Amino acid sequence: MGHVRHLAAVGLLALGTGLGQASAPPAPLAPGQWAGSGVVLVVTREGGRIEFPCASVEIKRPIRPDADGRFAVEAAYRAEGPGPVRENEPTIAARVEGRVEGDSMTGELVLPSRKDSFSVTLGKKTRLIKCK
């Protein structure tokens, strides 16, 4: 009977310290603007948008860096060129992967045929000239 009490006490201790509970998901990045050379990332509660000179990327889920600052989110890539951009133009499935360290982020836009790297800083402003 003493053995059963010991196991029960260990079980209660584990529950009391959170060992018996699932960990909460990582917190999403706070809304704000990040910018770098030729790139602007606007983070929203729902996801965000990345603007490049000749493309845009829609992120439809919150960016949730893990304990090491790494993240990966699904996105939709739309190439842009001179002239008007139609809202119904097709997008390409993409992935945005990266790492946040303080106010800096390095990332990659992963497309089926290539990867494009970028670096941005929280709160930085930049002048982005679009291909229009």
Which residues, listed in sequence order, are joined to residue 101 by a DSSP beta bridge?
104
Cα 98 from Cα 56, distance rounded (Å) = 17
- Nearest in space to 72 (alpha carbons), one of 34, 115, 126, 123: 115
Tens of pLDDT along 53-105?
999 999 999 999 999 999 999 999 999 887 776 777 889 999 999 999 999 99
> Is 5 or 81 the better-scoring residue by pLDDT?
81
With 90 as the cut, is the pLDDT of residue 26 above it?
Answer: no
Cα 48 from Cα 58, distance rounded (Å) = 6
- Nearest in space to 40 (alpha carbons), one of 56, 64, 18, 26: 56
What pLDDT, on the 0 to 100 scale, is given for residue 132?
67
Tens of pLDDT along 30-41?
999 999 999 999
Across residues 20-36, what is the average pLDDT?
83
What pLDDT, on the 0 to 100 scale, is given for residue 111?
97
What pLDDT, on the 0 to 100 scale, is given for residue 31?
95
How many CA atoms within 13 Å lie on the side-chain side of 122? 12
With 60 as the cut, is the pLDDT of residue 9 above it?
Answer: no
Query: What is the overall mean pLDDT for the chain?
Result: 85
